[in-house]
């Protein structure tokens, strides 16, 4: 257990539905990252927060995706109008300080039917 938690661990949804995932980082960590991992691939960067500010977004993050970190603590990632191609593991990580070692949560596995 790295101290980063994600909820839910698994989500099965039908195409077209909206889903929301939550990440709780290690409490003193000011940086929070979302990554997506498809089967057989390494994770890919989606977006990054420093405190409550979203500082960078990947072009992978289409307009159906939105992420928030309203109080600089937990974060949510919402996917609207899910598509089968959204099926993946969604990973959250957090870090702080100049070393910036990232600690990963267990991930949320999304299956879109």
Partner 1 sequence: KNEVEQSPQNLTAQEGEFITINCSYSVGISALHWLQQHPGGGIVSLFMLSSGKKKHGRLIATINIQEKHSSLHITASHPRDSAVYICAVKDRKGGGSNYKLTFGKGTLLTVNP
Name the site residues for partner 1 (rule: CB under 8 A).
Answer: 2, 31, 33, 35, 37, 40-45, 48, 56, 89, 91, 93, 95, 99-107, 109
Nearer to partner 1, 60 or 113 (CB): 60
Nearest approach, Cβ of residue 48 and partner 1 (Å): 6
Nearest approach, Cβ of residue 52 and partner 1 (Å): 16
Nearest approach, Cβ of residue 55 and partner 1 (Å): 9
Nearer to partner 1, 75 or 80 (CB): 75
Q: How far apart are CA 103 and CA 33, in angstroms?
A: 10
């Amino acid at each position: 257990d790295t101290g980063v938690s994600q909820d839910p661990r698994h989500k099965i949804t039908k195409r077209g539905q909206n889903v929301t995932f939550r990440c709780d980082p290690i409490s003193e960590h000011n940086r929070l990252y979302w990554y997506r991992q498809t089967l057989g691939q390494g994770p890919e960067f989606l977006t990054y927060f420093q405190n409550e500010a979203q500082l960078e977004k990947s072009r992978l993050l289409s307009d159906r995706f939105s992420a928030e970190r309203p109080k600089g603590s937990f974060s949510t990632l919402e996917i609207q109008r899910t598509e089968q191609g959204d099926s993946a593991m969604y990973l959250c990580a957090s870090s702080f300080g100049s070393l910036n070692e990232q600690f990963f949560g267990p991930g949320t596995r999304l299956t879109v039917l």
